[in-house]
Structure 1
Amino acid sequence: MALFVEVCKVMSFRKAADALDMPSSTLSRRISHLEKEVGLRLLHRTTRKVDLTEAGLLYFQRCKRIVDEANLAHEQLGEMLEHPTGTIRASVPVDFAIIYIAPLLEEFGAIYPGINVEFDMTPRNADLISEHIDLAIRMGQPPDSTLIARKITSFTSQLFASPAYLKRCGQPQHPSELIGHDGIAFPKTSHWDLRNGKQDIRAEFGGRYRANNVGMMKRLATLNHGIILLPQTSVTEELAQGKLVGLLPGWTGASLPVYALTETRLLPAKVRVFIDFLQQKLGK
């Protein structure tokens, strides 16, 4: 249909073919196929010129509007890709949102002023389809499901404690010594898997406090209640202020991947640029 409109605009197969950057014979064959499809002759062809039939004139008038609308739609889609707009609904863990996403929002907002972000930071795993959520950020290996996973980044955790705690309880020199220390960890956790490139050790520890919130774990550690295992990027301020110090240099926890989960690979521009932005800023 679009090829037919181009021929009618210049009333010449050769000129239209040149404009379309395709062989004149191919263009003529496509138009002949179109005429067979509609069951009517649309163009009178002679060696000197091309004229519209009565049916061709009616068809051209209708098709031109349709093709113009289609071209406009493509242009608007291009504008959406270049200047995406709309609201993104994102299900994000509280700690990840506060520590890692919040500092990036000013820059993201400056680049994409037409995009708003609505955060759902409830601890449960939201249902993307039924709750109309565009993407979910999840820590750890993604579950086997129909959701599409895109890796954002990965974290490697280290051990930290307050100077006052270490002064009171002593500084461990080896992971095996953690069994005599108070660990502040996630619920139902009584050991950390640590490695130094040569050894992997299951380090047992004690302690009275467990929490499913990194902010709470950091706060308890700065109040001298024990040792934490977290990414260094999550305790930058506490290290700079001297509230926490690193332990057992060279020993780290297992790598923790972070994924963006979406319902489909065909993402709206607003969601795609948000994921791309996070990968660019946080990816390793």
Structure 2
Amino acid sequence: MELLSYMRLFVEVARAKSFRKAAEALDMPNSTLSRHIAELEKVIGLRLLHRSTRKVELTEAGEVYFKRCQSIVEEARVAHESLLDVVERPSGTLRVSMPVDFATGYLAPILRDFAITYPLIGFEFDLTPRRVDLQTEPFDLAIRIGPPPTAPSTLVARQIALIPRYLYAAPSYIKQAPPLEHPNDLVRHVLCVGQGASKQRGALRTFHRGDERVDVTVESRFVMNSVGLSRSLAVTGVGIAALDSELTRDDVAMGRLRRVLPDWSLSPVQVHAITETRLLPARTRLFIDFLRTRLQELSLAAEDRRRSQLRRNRGSQNGAQDG
């Protein structure tokens, strides 16, 4: 048991590459941590770490040992927490990194319900577009918009949602802008691209209408990594924004935004939960499953509303023609 405890301490130091940071994360004195690592090296008979005043680096033997220890320590932790699930409710602190627009636009009611369902779990949320390093930073998972990461290869991506996107603009923009009856007409319009934005102003966008597909190279004057900002720009009449119906529901109801090209949609955006390993503690696994279920329910409800609105619009158009 003592050896496993030493291995856990070594893994923390190797991840942080700092005795001080590891000691803070483990909530123990730096001197105690250093002494335990020295005892581990004595038991093994090999030096695992190069120590200097500036940083800590793994030796060749330390690299090999770290790779094996990571999985052993993780499996032991998951086994322990799984046993706790049998005798008590999941507990501990859940640390999640996620984009601010996604958190504020979608997750507040979901987080409330999850917290009510699992009252012993605490939360630490880091709302940032920064790509946190799950191998060295103390996060249980990161929620990211767009394709899954390709590096490092050890990361595990679980798709938890597909967010549909449509085009919205303010009535003031629609009134003065060129006619817009087909996606090809977008070449004469101003686009504000947020979610899943390409870093290039001119990018190929794919539009769908049933089984029909159209690829259009659209020049985007405003390119950003914030859906909230692209929505705000559209509300002010600057241009057309690619948004989803959940985030625009209030703006549409208040008349601040209207759907343009209502029969067409852009390719949906993927949402992934990224973890360092497939071996997850109960609170992380439950949180991912909870998010996936609730986001799917939101997507289905939004699609039902969209279809109902299209039927109402077509009924109004047919009534006007008959009149």
Counterpart residue number, 1:15: none
How many Å apart are 1:273 and its aligned residue?
1.2
Change (3 A) 1:129 1:175: same
Counterpart residue number, 2:314: none
1:221 aligns with 2:234: yes
Distance 1:136 1:266 in 2: 15
Change (3 A) 1:111 1:172: same
**Contact between 1:172 and 1:248, CA under 8 Å: does it hold in 2?**
yes
**Contact between 2:146 and 2:271, CA under 8 Å: does it hold in 1?**
yes
Counterpart residue number, 1:142: 148
Q: CA RMSD in A?
A: 2.1
What runs of 5+ residues in structure 2 fail to find an aligned partner? 1-79, 300-323
How many Å apart are 1:229 and its aligned residue?
1.1
Q: 1:236 aligns with which of 227, 239, 249?
A: 249
Letter in 2 for 1:158: Y
Counterpart residue number, 2:188: 180
Counterpart residue number, 1:202: 215
**Contact between 1:92 and 1:136, CA under 8 Å: does it hold in 2?**
yes
**Contact between 1:182 and 1:205, CA under 8 Å: does it hold in 2?**
no
Counterpart residue number, 1:153: 161
Counterpart residue number, 1:58: none
Larger Rg: 1
Q: Secondary structure at the match of 2:274?
A: strand
Change (3 A) 1:100 1:79: farther
**Farther-moved stretch of structure 1 (250-259 vs 153-162):** 250-259
**Contact between 1:148 and 1:263, CA under 8 Å: does it hold in 2?**
yes
User: CA-to-partner distance for each residue in 1:63-91, whole Å, 9 max, x for gaps?
Assistant: xxxxxxxxx998634134xx111111111
Change (3 A) 1:135 1:73: closer
* Count of matched residue pairs: 211
Show the 5 A alignment for 1:270-281: 270-281=283-294
Counterpart residue number, 2:13: none
Counterpart residue number, 1:164: 172
Letter in 1 for 2:162: S
Distance 1:255 1:73 in 2: 36
- Give TM-score, length-normalised by structure 2: 0.61
Change (3 A) 1:73 1:254: closer
Counterpart residue number, 2:107: 101
Distance 1:74 1:216 in 2: 42
How many Å apart are 1:274 and its aligned residue?
0.8
Identity, in percent, stands at 39
Q: Secondary structure at the match of 2:223?
A: coil
1:112 aligns with 2:124: no
Counterpart residue number, 1:249: 262
Distance 2:136 2:87 in 1: 29
How many Å apart are 1:279 and its aligned residue?
0.9
User: CA-to-partner distance for each residue in 1:227-267, whole Å, 9 max, x for gaps?
Assistant: 01122122122112111111112211112221111112221
Distance 1:134 1:214 in 2: 25
How many Å apart are 1:153 and its aligned residue?
0.9
Distance 1:90 1:73 in 2: 19
Change (3 A) 1:95 1:74: closer
